[in-house]
Chain A
Amino acid sequence: MEHVLNLVAVHRVTDGGVSLSGTIRAVANGDRDAFSRLYADYSRMVHAVLLGRVPRRDVDDLVQDVFVTAYTRIRELREPAAFGGWIATIARNRATDYLRQSREQVELPDELPGGDPIEAETFAVLEVIRGLPEAYRDTLLMRLVEGMSGQEIADRTGLAPGSVRVNLHRGMKLLREKLGLET
């Protein structure tokens, strides 16, 4: 019975009012609508995790890879409440694989902004965030790129709200310093 999902102690509810455990059980039974709900709820978090690690041009493709992997392996997830952390780990591992493969192939510039100075500034700030410690980097990207609130970040990642608040606060402080905004 190791692969049977433990659905007992899960109380978290997805945005549509359906419990996370119910959604995951439905996905495990091949329900594509349930999968779409999971994607809607968690794709921004996965996008942020990948954006902090790999070139932007490949992030959308890797997000799709991560969700297909999650779909095919979802019966390995024993605790539905851990889904957020689980899929974030898949995303981090996928980014590591990607970077390993990329090193074996031709090196390309990380980002190729056009001549637009605003676009160049955006990529410059992204590069600074990528240089922050992992906990700050992921949390800040979820907040500043994906527009997630602190509570949403806590809900999706499984982190304690207090930890998210600290990560946001310290991450923003570091970012301000590196951008020369700190007075």
Chain B
Amino acid sequence: MKDDYLWDPSSAPDPEVERLERMLGRLRSNAPAPDLPGRFAGKGPRYTSARFLVPTLAAAASIVAMIGLTWQTTRGIRSWEVSRMTGQPRIGSAPLAGTGRLGVGQTLVTDAASRARLDVSTIGQATVDTDSRVRLVDTREGHHKLALERGTLHAFITAPPGQFVVDTPSATATDLGCVYTLHVDEDGTGMLSVTAGWVAFEFNGRESFVPAGASARTDPRIGPGTPRYDDAALELQAALDDFDYGADATAKARDLQLVLSSATPRDAMTLWHLIARVSPADRTAVIDALDARVPMPASITREAVMRLDKAALDQWWDALGLRDAGWWRKWKGPYPADVK
């Protein structure tokens, strides 16, 4: 009987119901359980036979509540303070009046008229612009993570590198001690622009290291695009976008040639990223173009670069003057103040 499948999904399937299941199953949610308030401490007696105990218990409850409040304020482990800047932001579905707490698993939502500021534990601040939606994924000592589902977030982080991470639908931005703006559109595409410091942008093993003054796009299809300085020639930037996200192979080859021919020495950072992103057939031309702007170190060989030898690529990166590759990859060592 076909309707048995409605009752018991392990029985012989009804193709029509199966199709509806596949279609509507996309609406299923994997949202985590909410982070809970510590509310039961001092909640009050369950047995109230001794009337004279009430004032004493009330006082005890107050003390416990104060201790709890102090603990939450001083430790701030599982939530961040959030302040309304304009309009009527929401935490979940609850309107935010003044200030509130954003707990792990909760979402801060701004509409077309509202903005809010997040205190990123004790390591910085993030401003959430209009029409944004950001969820606190985790916060604990040395690790703080947001998910920017849509909209714009401005981050100002003073912590050592690697402690503040923002997930987007198409890339993960790891702060390397910096100020940056991250924007995500409804379709999951996005843009990272770094004002100070560095940000590592990564998706499925595809990395972009984005220094101050540079930006990188991101797209759910391929992840982070090739970073470029914001003052690079507009035609180079347009060609780079087309190369990263275009589908026409002929056009992409033309775009790559335009990038290689118009790059300045300052665009060496962009060319370095391209080495691993082009086909082996195009790699020789990229290596030549980078070599012309920042000569290949004598300690490495063209063959090693051609086969994307990590050590060779790191040594060439070191020659760009953007701090050594070990710092980039491991995010250790002092803040590199010698790099502009």
Contacts and interface: CB of A to CB of B under 8 A. Distances in A.
A10 to B, nearest CB: 19
A147 B21 contact: yes
Contacts of A147: 9, 21, 25, 28
Contacts of A40: 33
A149 B26 CA distance: 17
B23 A169 contact: no
Interface in A90-146: 94, 98, 101, 106, 112, 114, 118-119, 121-122, 125-126, 141, 143-146
Contacts of A59: 29
A35 B33 contact: yes
B33 A36 contact: yes
B155 interface: no
A168 interface: yes
Contacts of B186: 112, 114
Interface in B3-45: 3, 6-10, 16-17, 20-21, 23-29, 31, 33-34, 36-41
B212 to A, nearest CB: 34
Nearest to A46: B29
B92 to A, nearest CB: 4
Interface string A134-174: 00000001011111011100000000000011001100100
Contacts of A3: 46
Nearest to A150: B7
Interface in A17-69: 28-30, 32, 35-36, 39-40, 43-44, 47, 51, 56, 58-65, 67-68
B109 interface: yes
A61 B39 CA distance: 20
Question: Which 4 residue pairs across A and B have the least CB separation, nearest first?
Answer: A150-B7, A61-B92, A39-B33, A64-B34
Interface in B25-71: 25-29, 31, 33-34, 36-41, 46
Given A98-B93, A147-B21, A30 B29 contact: no
Interface of B: 3, 6-10, 16-17, 20-21, 23-29, 31, 33-34, 36-41, 46, 90, 92-94, 105-107, 109, 111, 186-187
A61 B93 contact: yes
Interface residues of A, number: 56
24 contacts: A44-B28, A56-B27, A58-B93, A60-B31, A62-B93, A64-B31, A64-B33, A64-B34, A65-B94, A67-B33, A72-B37, A121-B23, A125-B23, A126-B24, A141-B24, A144-B20, A146-B28, A147-B9, A150-B6, A151-B8, A168-B6, A172-B3, A176-B16, A181-B16
A145 B28 contact: yes
Contacts of B27: 51, 56, 122, 126, 145
Contacts of A169: 3, 6
A125 B107 contact: no
Give the residue among A30, A125, A145, A149 with the most B Cβ atoms within 10 A: A145
State the majority secondary structure of interface residues on A.
Answer: helix
A65 B7 contact: no
B101 to A, nearest CB: 12
A4 interface: yes
Given A4-B46, A62-B93, A143-B6, A29 B34 contact: no
A71 interface: yes
B7 A165 contact: yes
A121 B107 CA distance: 28
B330 to A, nearest CB: 35
A95 B25 CA distance: 21
A126 B20 CA distance: 10
Contact of A30 (B7, B10, B34, B40): B40
A5 B153 CA distance: 46
A127 B9 CA distance: 24
A126 B26 CA distance: 11
A67 B34 contact: yes
A181 B17 CA distance: 11
Nearest to B111: A106
A136 B106 CA distance: 31
